[in-house]
Amino acid sequence: MPEVDAFDLKMLAALQDDGRLTNQQLADLIGLSASQCSRRRMRLEEEKVIAGYHADLAGEALGFGLIAFIHITLATHSPDNAKRFRELVNRVDDIQEAYALTGDADYVLKVMLRDLKSLSDIVNNVLMPHQSVAHVRSSIVLDRIKESAKLPLAALPRTPRRACPAQRPYGQRGVGEVRICGRQRIERVQLRHECILTRERHVPCAVARGGHVGMQRGSDAPSQGIWQTVGLERPG
């Protein structure tokens, strides 16, 4: 499971409300810079925490006024029969959602349709004649009490921000050993160093005597040459 901290969760909550938010708008909402929000957003997309962006269409405005749940019992429970039924479900665009269940029914399908005739067609002409299906029972929705695709992010554990053991205020430099995010200790390397906060992780910025060999504040990671200069292995 990808690690998410409090800033990630604030960003995800904001994007659940409005997926069109720009990085600057996110920065204003959660208290980070636009560049930090951009890097976080890209990471969450790469890790598939953010699966995609889409427009939420109003079904009733387009004439889809009927919602029904259809419970399916299969004729047999062989792998081949289940495969045939799943192939059928994937071919029918009227079926928005399909779930395998425990209990009396094997599957439940959610359909959004224009009218009762459309429901009758899908039950009597699509599902019932199929060789994999033994029994069909449909329930029509009378009223939508709550409908939401938002995840309950408040229930997720928050990964604490990791502090660098070598942390110093920006601009304050000293001579001594270097630690990288608490994972690697480099001894007998006399460097003047400072810590830079990038994506809420501290990355050491090495400063050699008489000259800066580190990175600019706000960049994601030092260049390969910097790590070679100070004799360190570049973190992945």
| Structural domains of the chain in order of their starting residue, each with its CATH number | 6-54 (1.10.10.10), 60-140 (3.30.70.920), 174-230 (no CATH)
- What is the largest distance, in Å, between two alpha-carbon atoms of the chain? 83
Burial class (CB in 10 A: 0-12, 13-18, 19+), 4: buried
DSSP annotation of 235 reads P
Q: Number of C-alpha atoms within 13 angstroms, CB side, residue 60?
A: 3
Angle separating helix axes 6-17 and 34-46, nearest 10 degrees = 80
Mean pLDDT throughout 24-36? 95
Give phi and psi for 180, each to the nearest 5.
Answer: -110, 105
Handedness of CA 44, 45, 49, 55 (dihedral sign): positive
Give the least confident one: 8-17, 150-159, 226-235. Answer: 226-235
pLDDT given for residue 142 in this prediction: 96
Give the least confident one: 21-25, 128-132, 136-140, 190-194. Answer: 190-194
